[in-house]
A and B are shown apart, each in its own frame.
Chain A
Amino acid sequence: MRIARFYQKTLFGVFAMIGLIVAFTSALYVYTVDRQLTGDFLKNSRAIARSIADSNVDLIVHRNYSALQSIIDQFVEISSISYVFVVDEKGVIIAHTFVPGVPDEILADYKDGKDVYDRTLAGLGNFSEVTAGILAGKAGHVHVGMDNDYIALQVQTAIGKEVYLLSIILIVSVLASYGLMYLVSRPLDHLRSYAWHSLSSEQHASPPDSSQVKRLLERTDEVGELGRIIRWASGRES
């Protein structure tokens, strides 16, 4: 399936344009999804920390550690939440979800009072830890750790799906453009072949068959008009 040289540059231009659209759309999507999903995960974690801090004040103040543990255990069932721990007003961790123990990296700085901790825990991975104060921090803090690797995986999965879809669109567009160009260029090819045969003294390799010539001359568009002019010029019109 050959396309006329006349259209090859146009076709290349179309391909380049589609490629650019796909590339720019993907880049914009990656940027938006990454920001959006990461932001959403952070917001959810903050909401969870806030919810534990606000709705369990009685348990914390009355040292009902068992009930408090039951509550935080339910939150680590959420996929993005890796750990939760609660610190009382004395700075003691009164409930947590770590096995076999609270990592040393956390023990080193959990009392610093930051809003967000970016952590790398040995053997566990990378985490963003958000905090919420209990009774404005007077009764302690709730810390919720999100697995950054999990978030990255979610972002990559979402982006991967989108890029996959755009790639399919790119391939389909290229094939469709090629097909359309071929349809457009085929009569021109016949016209070129007819012109060589009718006007040139050189022997053309493959003379057009009579049915092709008939269809060409019967066309009502510019190609048909050119064909008829060539027939007139070659003096074959009877």
Chain B
Amino acid sequence: MEEEAQTWLRSRRMLTLALLLAAALLGDSTLAKDKTAGTDADRQDASQSEIRLGMSADFSASARALSIELYRGAMAYLLPLNNAGGVNGRRVVIKAYDDQYEPDLAIRNTLKLMDEDDVFALFSYVGTPTMNRALPLLQMHHDRHFLLLFPFTGADTNRISPYDQLSFNLRASYDQEMKGLVDHFVAVNRTRIAVFYQADAYGRAGWGGLREALDEHGLEIAGEATYRRGSPFDQSYDRQVAIMQRLQPDAVVCVGTYPACAGFIRDMRDRDVDCPVATISFVGGGAMLKLLSAAEQESNKDYTSRLVSSQVVPSYNDDSLPAVRDYREAMDRYRDAIMPPDSLLHPHGKAAEREYAPLPYGFISLEGYLNAKLFTAILQRMGADPRRADLVATVLAMGDFDLGMGQPLSFGGDTARRQASDQVYYTVVRDGRFVPFRDGEWEAWAKR
């Protein structure tokens, strides 16, 4: 019995020793993390040579062109910046994860970015449904001062309570885009406006903006058709077009992604529904135009007339703007170097038919470029030891500033503005490319 007891005690001591050793080996990183979380939660280690921005976006599914172009635009600004030494000697890098435009994946990515990558801020998230699910996480971690900077969406969720305090926007909202489109259509006597939209939070945000805009004119939405998120260009949109044929609207506004909107416009024109069609900025005009132009060549039909796209950045062809000149130069110079890594683009292995052909220039990459430029401007104001906790105060203190976009931008002020730009631009397709659609030109679309 005594021998048994001694053996048991010896085994127990050995186990305790092993556990202590394991704890000592593993504990270093845990303790380091705890230290970061507890005493200096809002500061990336000053000795780190980089400032990390966390991005969750669709790099491999139905909206991938939007995310890839946004990323490329941001990298076109950051690459030369980092080559020149970064900001206060620290490189600005983007840690990106693929969410396939699925909210659940966006939640996981956001947790990873905050807990494992300890990013300085979340940056240029793509999409409303994904952002809507990520914002509550920021609220839960508000003591760590994470912010979502310049998401690629114009939805209200991060512009109104309770999540408006967790975000800053560069771009105008969907409501503003819708208001502009509706005002122009109504001015040319096109009052029966229908909507084609994605059946999710993004589509609903656009639908809401349209409803409010029409309400200001005492009008209602003439009718609606929806599609499932992730629907491809090749799919038939005849059911949605049939609804439009029945409604006979004066104009249709599309709130979707480029494959679905392009497919819907193709099928509309094929069935001779020829009213003007408007798309909003998130649709991704460049990628949509690419699909429609290819379809035009195949069918010998005209899919790009009477198509207006609202944009939230100026034309990427407008060389008179300093920001656009710099952007074009950077896109030309770094064309291949700014692509997202293959691990993001091809999570299931490379396939020739899934290869993405980047656009030379576009509204979305220009927006990415401006997002990165604005973040850099903010970071430069934060000094050598930037802290997350100081980010809100720094941005709100910016007041009026100029990014070279040819329009006034401002944060803060009396109303504590958190959206820098209210400007919406309208473009139409001429000679296979988007050109500005001037106010006087809308008259040509007047309903007689």
The chain A residues found within 8 Å of chain B, CB to CB, are: 62-70, 73, 92, 94-95, 97-102
Contacts and interface: CB of A to CB of B under 8 A. Distances in A.
Contacts of B201: 66-67, 69-70, 73
Size range of the chain B interface in the assembly: 20 to 34
Given A64-B157, A65-B205, A66-B132, 4 more contacts: A64-B156, A69-B201, A70-B129, A94-B208
A64 B204 CA distance: 9
B277 to A, nearest CB: 17
Given A65-B207, A70-B133, A73-B200, A101 B225 contact: yes
Contacts of B138: none
A58 to B, nearest CB: 9
Contact of A62 (B103, B128, B160, B212): B160
Given A66-B202, A98-B226, A100-B226, A73 B129 contact: yes
Contacts of B160: 62, 64
B226 to A, nearest CB: 5
Contacts of B200: 69-70, 73
Contacts of A66: 128, 132, 155-157, 201-202, 204-205, 208
Contacts, number: 63
A69 B156 CA distance: 12
A123 to B, nearest CB: 10
B228 A99 contact: yes
Nearest to B203: A69
A99 B202 CA distance: 15
Contacts of A70: 103, 129, 132-133, 200-201
A65 B208 contact: yes
B293 interface: no
B132 A100 contact: no
A92 B239 CA distance: 23
B204 A68 contact: yes
Kindly name the residue among B132, B203, B204 whose own CB sees the greatest number of chain A CB atoms within 10 A.
Answer: B204
B243 interface: yes
Given A69-B200, A69-B204, A100 B239 contact: yes
A56 to B, nearest CB: 13
B227 interface: yes
A100 B198 CA distance: 10
15 contacts: A63-B208, A64-B156, A65-B207, A65-B208, A66-B132, A66-B156, A66-B201, A66-B204, A67-B157, A70-B129, A70-B200, A70-B201, A73-B129, A101-B224, A101-B240
